[in-house]
Each structure stands twice: as structure tokens, then as C-alpha cells.
Amino acid sequence: MRYISTRGTAPILTFEEAMLTGLARDGGLYVPETIPQLSRADIAAMAGQSYEDVAFTVMRPFIGDTFTDAEFRDLIAKAYAGFGHASRAPLKELAPNHFLLELFHGPTLAFKDFAMQLIGQMFQLALGRKGERVTIVGATSGDTGSAAIEAFRGLDNVDVVILYPHGRVSEVQRRQMTTPSESNVHALAVDGDFDDCQARLKDMFNDFEFRDGVKLAGVNSINWGRVLAQVVYYFTSAVSLGAPDRKVSFTVPTGNFGDIFAGYIAKKMGLPIEQLIVATNQNDILHRCLSGEGYHKSTVHPSISPSMDIQVSSNFERALFDAYDRDGGAVAQLMAELGQGGFDVSQGAAQALSEHYSSGRASEEETSNTITQTLKNSAELLCPHSAIGVKVAEELRDPATPMITLATAHPAKFPDAVQAATGIRPPLPPRMADLYDRPERLTRVPNDLEALKTQIKGLIAQ
């Protein structure tokens, strides 16, 4: 399996190289050259299998000879051993034919753990045998950062530096990033929003002297391994509702487009998916674009679903690459226009996108009302991101087809919004009960590339 860049001019890499490289050297994102296919029989055989067995079947064709089968099975087993639910990603029926896929039973209570726990294992084995050390820099609106710090804390071959927008993550998210005491993990509070953090991260990857000097690696969904690990739960959930003999639909609370793109990959691999619905909050650039308005940046307005306060949605580039018939030059041109504020999507590409994705948005009030109503009608306490998914799914779903809405975080990560909607303050699980008492360690930094580079070099030299 070979990996190519969405901008067409970076070197072609193996899975291991793409995983350890992060952003392609032409500024693009790595994608598999071809998408492996699973037959109906392969998918039918997943019924009754463990999450780990399905994970092996789904991901194995993408990893080439990076790991042996035995190694890969072992990495998968270790990655999910710490999850707090035997089925890893349980489904609950919310309403007739509308199901919630709970993706928050991992160590940091958000769906990011599914990929990050595995990436942590894969990095450790790959770097250990090469005898290399890397510097992982990540940008987060709250959940990727906490999942990365949890997955890599204390590991030998990595330093991890996470950039988060100062004052724009929940207190639980911040504390998950700032309270681990291991000396290889660091949280930097940037004076800016998530898009600024992600832009500075990409600037660092595009600064080859810095990139090569610190051996920069990335664990945002820039990294193909992140997307790949998220493909698995589309299969486990669809099969448990009757796939491949029955079509299912998914609604995905969306920000950086990684999670929904994983659903698209599942569909391309052969999973019969009817609708893939993008659900956004008030920062609705993806919904506007998928509604034919072009991709034009506006100001990010902080919301009660802070993890989705994103305007520059990194993985949309991967979707555009396919929609433009894998023309890297065309994608490079669009991304240059995005740097100037935005771009219009050609008619052909818009048609291609609409064949796979539809979209909706939820306002702040609708999000809060959905949390209130879902508790009343289904006795389920939703986090605000999951509530956006439920609201949009109810609006757009075909009642004849099972709808699976992804519940991307535990309500206890966003207690203020949940309490405001329901009067209930969801408690943290017992293993995190002292989170508010642990000492915090963070550094406040300006939204400035040179200042960030100096800070990071200083941290990794310690």
C-alpha cells in the first residue's frame, strides 16, 4: 500500500513513513493510493466478532508490511484494553430506528481515544525499532490534545507539545492536558482560536529547517493513521444493525472532517451506507459549502460545543481531492485561494461531494434544547457535540433506514452546557474524580510562529 499527497508533488510513502511524517512536504495530506475492498462475505463475517477482530480486518490492508500480523493484533489489543466498555463502542437506541454510537468510553472520554491509543502503540513500536526520537506537535480544540497527552505520556521516544486556544476549551479538557506530570508532555495555551493553532502547526511542518531539526511528527488527523483507526467503528456499528444485508446511515458532529471522512472510507471499502450527514454548530462553513455556497472563511464564534469551533477544516482537503478526481494541482490551487479567504467549488466537484455527503447545522439554542429533550424522551444525557448530531439526524434522516449518530464525547467533559440544559451536572468517572485537585502545568504563548518554535525547542531540550 502506497500513500500519495493531496497536492500531488510530495514523495510517495509507505504506511510507516506516512504515519511518522505527518503533513506531506508539499503541504498536502497523505491518502492511500487505492482503497482496499472488503467483500460482502468479509463484512458479514464481522457479525459477533470482537471490536479488536474487526479492527484487524478493516485496518490490515492499509498497513502494508509495517507490522507483522501478530504485532498488529498485539498493538490493537493493547490500544483498547483500557476502554471502560466491553464492546468499546456500544450502540443505544434513542428512538425507533435512531441509534447513538457511544464513542466516549476511552481514557479521555472522547472519540479521539479510538485512534490515539492505537497511534501511541504504533509510534512506540515503530520508533523503538528504528531507535529514533520525534517531537509530536498537535493542535487541539480540546479533545485531540487530551487524547494525545494520555496516549504518549511517559513514552521513551517522543516529546509531545500541544497547542490549544487559551480560554476556548472546557475546564475538564484543559485539566486533562495540563495535569499530567510526565516530563515529555507539554501544554501551550495560545492567544488565538483553534484555526490559529492548526495554522501554526502547518507552518511548522512547512518550515523544513525546524521540521527536520526537531524531527517533527503529527498526531492530528493530518496523520492518516488517525483517520484509519476511526473507520473501524463504522463497520462494527453497521454490522450490529444488519449490514451488509441492510443499509445504514450515519450523522457525524463535524469540525476538522476527520471522523466523517473515516465514514466515507468505510463506504468506499464496501460498507453499504445510505446517508453520511455532516452536522455542524454555528461555525457552519462545511454546511454552507455542502449547500453550494463555496468554502469562504468567516469569524469563529465560540460556542457551547467548543471542540467544533473550526473554520479551516483540515480533512476537507482529502474530500476535495477525491471530488476533483484526485487532481493534486487543482487541490493546491484551492488551498492557495483558501489562504486568501476562500474558494468556490466547481460544479463537477460539488456534484461529487453531494453524492456522498449531506449536511445540517444546529444553533446554540437548538443544541441546548436537544440535550434537554433527549434526556426527557430517551433518558440519555448528551454532550453538546453529540446533541448537534442528534438534532441534525432527526431533521434529515430517512425513517426507513437505521440512523447511527456518533456520540463523540462524554457529557462530563462539558458539564456547564449540560447543567444549563438539564439541571444535572454530570460527574466525572471515579478514576478522574480528583482532576480538579491536581496541579496544572501550562505555558501561555502568543500566536506567533517564531515564538512557538523557540518555546518548543526549549521544551524538548530540557
Ligand X SMILES: N[C@@H](CCOP(=O)(O)O)C(=O)O
- Residues forming the active site: 112
Among 127, 409, 445, 459, binds ligand PLP (CB under 6 A): 409
Specify whether the CB–CB gap between 410 and 104 falls below 8 A: yes
DSSP-derived 3-state class of residue 72: helix
- C-alpha to C-alpha distances, 435 to 10, 111, 163, 438, nearest whole angstrom: 43, 20, 20, 6
Exposed (0-12), middle (13-18) or buried (19+): which is 396, by Cβ within 10 Å? middle
**Under rule CB under 6 A, residue 281 binds ligand PLP:** no
The span of 14-22, 27-35, 252-260, 345-353 binding ligand PLP (CB under 6 A) equals 252-260
Among 43, 101, 110, 349, binds ligand PLP (CB under 6 A): 110
Among 117, 176, 314, 368, binds ligand X (CB under 6 A): 314
How many Å apart are CA 426 and CA 434, to the nearest integer?
15
CB hemisphere CA count around 173 (13 angstroms): 28
Closest CB 148 distance from ligand PLP, rounded Å: 12
Which one, 32 or 253, has the nearer CB to ligand PLP? Answer: 253
Count interface residues toward ligand PLP (CB under 6 A).
16
Partner from ligand X, ligand PLP, none contacting 408, C-beta within 5 to 8 A by type: ligand PLP
Exposed (0-12), middle (13-18) or buried (19+): which is 14, by Cβ within 10 Å? middle
**Under rule CB under 6 A, residue 109 binds ligand PLP:** no
**Under rule CB under 6 A, residue 138 binds ligand PLP:** no
DSSP-derived 3-state class of residue 64: coil
Closest CB 176 distance from ligand X, rounded Å: 11
**Under rule CB under 6 A, residue 360 binds ligand PLP:** no
Closest CB 127 distance from ligand PLP, rounded Å: 25
Among 174, 385, 391, 410, binds ligand PLP (CB under 6 A): 385
Among 22, 142, 165, 270, binds ligand X (CB under 6 A): 142
**Under rule CB under 6 A, residue 384 binds ligand X:** no
Specify whether the CB–CB gap between 323 and 347 falls below 8 A: no
Among 255, 328, 360, 402, binds ligand PLP (CB under 6 A): 255
Which of 291, 285, 279, 297 shows the shortest CA–CA distance to 384? Answer: 279
Within 308-327, the residues that bind ligand PLP by CB under 6 A are: 308
Which one, 13 or 304, has the nearer CB to ligand PLP? Answer: 304
Among 143, 150, 322, 394, binds ligand PLP (CB under 6 A): 143
Exposed (0-12), middle (13-18) or buried (19+): which is 167, by Cβ within 10 Å? exposed
Q: What is the largest CA-CA distance in the chain?
A: 59
Which one, 107 or 255, has the nearer CB to ligand X? Answer: 255
**Under rule CB under 6 A, residue 258 binds ligand X:** yes
The span of 44-52, 251-259, 318-326, 448-456 binding ligand X (CB under 6 A) equals 251-259
Specify whether the CB–CB gap between 371 and 422 falls below 8 A: yes
Specify whether the CB–CB gap between 186 and 443 falls below 8 A: yes
Among 307, 313, 405, 422, binds ligand X (CB under 6 A): 307
Residue 309 grid coordinates: 469551533
For the sheet containing 216-217, what is the strand order?
216-217, 134-139, 158-165, 185-190, 443-445
Partner from ligand PLP, ligand X, none contacting 140, C-beta within 5 to 8 A by type: ligand X
DSSP for 116-142 reads HHHHHHHHHHHHHHHT--EEEEEE-SS
Closest CB 256 distance from ligand X, rounded Å: 4
How many Å apart are CA 113 and CA 126, to the nearest integer?
19
Which of 413, 432, 411 shows the shortest CA–CA distance to 421? Answer: 411
Which one, 307 or 455, has the nearer CB to ligand PLP? Answer: 307
Specify whether the CB–CB gap between 56 and 252 falls below 8 A: no
**Under rule CB under 6 A, residue 107 binds ligand PLP:** no
Closest CB 151 distance from ligand PLP, rounded Å: 15
**Under rule CB under 6 A, residue 178 binds ligand X:** no
Partner from ligand X, ligand PLP, none contacting 220, C-beta within 5 to 8 A by type: ligand X
Within 184-223, the residues that bind ligand X by CB under 6 A are: 220-221
Specify whether the CB–CB gap between 130 and 122 falls below 8 A: no
Question: What residues line the site for ligand X (CB under 6 A)?
Answer: 140-145, 220-221, 255-256, 258, 307, 314
Question: What residues line the site for ligand PLP (CB under 6 A)?
Answer: 110, 141, 143, 221, 253-259, 307-308, 385, 408-409
